[in-house]
Structure 1
Amino acid sequence: MAQIRKQSMKEQIYQIIKDRILNLEYPMDTPLNLVQLSKELGTSNTPLREALSLLEAEGLVVASLNNKVRVIGFTQESYRDLNRTILVQLLGAYQLCLEDKKNSYLCNILENQLNIQQAVFEEGDINGFITASINFDKGFLLACENHKLLEIFDRLSSLLYLSVTMNHHAKLENRQLNLQEHQHILDAVRKNDVFLVQKLLHQHYDKHLTEESLRHFS
């Protein structure tokens, strides 16, 4: 049974439920049993509802008019929309890096993140791999040093974690492909081949949910 301290109860409940969603302990597109959750966490309805409001703002749960709460589920359309949103951010951040002559700085960040990703891949740490994969892409935002873009990316990071999980959780070859794509992106950035970087980023985020993923995570 998860233990709740009296201080910051809302935040603790939020973090517990969030971790369970991201770790797929609560399957996507399934309802949460609020009565059971309240009993398990030893909390009243108010902090639980407040925590769920935070999760809804983050896009991880959806509340209906009849007070039912479900874990978010991806459709082809919502998955594509998320990928396109991230893609626009990365392309914009890359353009800012070029304008501010930060290509070398970007290379250093991407190289460090790719080394971390390779290390956790070799360790077989799937969750660590997913985090490292996202951090590689986040490197474009870090390099351009635009805090507003970074805030938007961070607000989408939990949804992005789930979407990457759908691609990489089950199959080793998908994780290998992700590493290869990141290596190709880094190589293109090093060569300062702007067109190729843009092309590779488009390909990297032009992903579709397979029927297998939809069955496995729905």
Structure 2
Amino acid sequence: MPVPPPILTKNAYAYEELRRRILTGEIKEGSVLSQSKLAQEIGVSTTPLREALRRLAAEGLVELKSHSDARVAALTADEARDLYLIRENLDPLAAGLAAESRTPSDIDDIQAALAQLVPLRDASDLAAMTAHRDFHRAIYTASHNPLLTGILEGLWDKADRYRQVGLRGQEESEKDRLRVQEEHHQIAEAVISGDAARARDIMHRHIVGSLGRRAITVLSTD
């Protein structure tokens, strides 16, 4: 039985463990979640587990039907399309604002996040996906627009599930991985140099070629 790490409260541990299982696909979409069974597996009581489920429901990863009935939210082509349309418009906006508003501290954060990036090769590689999120978060934060940052951050976990659909559904070539890596470097360079138009343009190109967009095609043909 897993033992909660001492640095986390039981509530936080239950949340992080359930989130990990959902984002890596260990718990499949549409799965009914037995609270008593999960609590036993994770090594916590049902109270922190219920709190974790409430947090995950607020993030759109879990659907709560009643006090005891919960299931992992389904993935659909319509939702993938909605997420893509939001990111196609808001990510370039955030990148442009970041180029206009970044501070020396923001630049340090962007460079540090860029250095940690590795190509996304496996849908279960949560560390690589976290590094990807950290880079985009550094760009969002540098926009100094809390409302915009909150919207994009709030969608990230849900979008990660569709990135995994894109990874599993179509094999990504080495050429694609190199393209994504180069786009990340170009976005960082444009933001750091203060070139707002270029930052918006590259970010838009990045989203158009993203795994989230690929997921639309995969789910539409299922």
Task: Kindly state the Cα deviation for residue 172 of structure 1 after the two structures are TM-superposed.
Answer: 4.8
Q: In 2, distance between residues paired with 1:2 and 1:214? A: 38
1:121–1:129 contact (8 Å) kept in structure 2: yes
Q: 1:122 to 1:159 in 2, by over 3 A?
A: closer
2:130 equivalent in structure 1: 131
Partner of 1:208: 214
Equivalent residue number for residue 2 of structure 2: 2
* Letter of the structure 2 residue corresponding to residue 149 of structure 1: L
* Structure 1: stretches of 5+ with no match in the other structure: none
Which residue in the other structure is 2:35 paired with? 34
2:154 aligned partner? 155
- The alpha carbon displacement at 1:87 in A equals 4.0
1:2 corresponds to which letter in structure 2? P
Q: Residue type matched to 1:38 in 2?
A: A
Alignment of 1:165-176 (within 5 A): 165-168=164-167, 171-173=171-173, 174-176=176-178
| SS of aligned partner of 1:27 | coil
Q: Could you say which residue in structure 1 is the equivalent of 2:13?
A: 12
1:180 aligns with 2:182: yes
Q: Mean alpha-carbon deviation: is it higher for 204-213 or for 28-37? A: 204-213
Residue 199 of structure 2: aligned partner: 197
Instruction: Structure 2 unaligned segments of length 5 or more: list them.
Output: none
CA gap 1:106/1:87 in 2 versus in 1, 3 angstroms: farther
Q: Which amino acid aligns with 2:34?
A: N
Q: Secondary structure at the match of 1:145?
A: coil
Alignment partners' CA distance in 1, 2:105 and 2:40: 50
Distance 1:132 1:44, change over 3 A: closer
Amino acid at match of 1:140: I
CA distance in 2, matches of 1:129, 1:90: 20
**Are the equivalent residues in 2 in contact too, given 1:103–1:192 (CA < 8 A)?**
no
Equivalent in the alignment of 2:114: 114
Question: Aligned partners of 1:193 and 1:81: how far apart in 2?
Answer: 29
CA contact (8 A) 2:96 2:199 kept: no
Where does residue 93 of structure 2 map in the other structure?
92
State the distance in 1 between where 2:12 and 2:39 align.
14
Q: CA deviation at 1:107?
A: 6.1
Paired amino acid for 2:56: L
The answer to whether the Cα contact below 8 Å between 2:166 and 2:214 also exists between their aligned partners in 1 is no
Instruction: Name whichever of 41-50 and 77-86 sits farther off.
Output: 41-50
* Greater alpha carbon shift after TM alignment, 138-147 vs 89-98: 89-98
Separation of aligned partners in 1, 2:73 and 2:220: 13
> Which letter does structure 2 place at the counterpart of 1:116?
Q
Structure 2 residue matching 1:203: 3-state secondary structure: helix
Alignment RMSD, CA only?
3.8
Q: 1:128 to 1:45 in 2, by over 3 A?
A: closer
Q: In structure 2, what residue type is equivalent to 1:158?
A: D
Instruction: Find the aligned partners of 1:48 and 1:190 in 2 and give their Cα distance.
Output: 42
Amino acid at match of 2:94: A
Paired residues in the alignment total: 213
For the residues of structure 2 that align with 1:194 and 1:159, how far apart are their CA atoms?
28
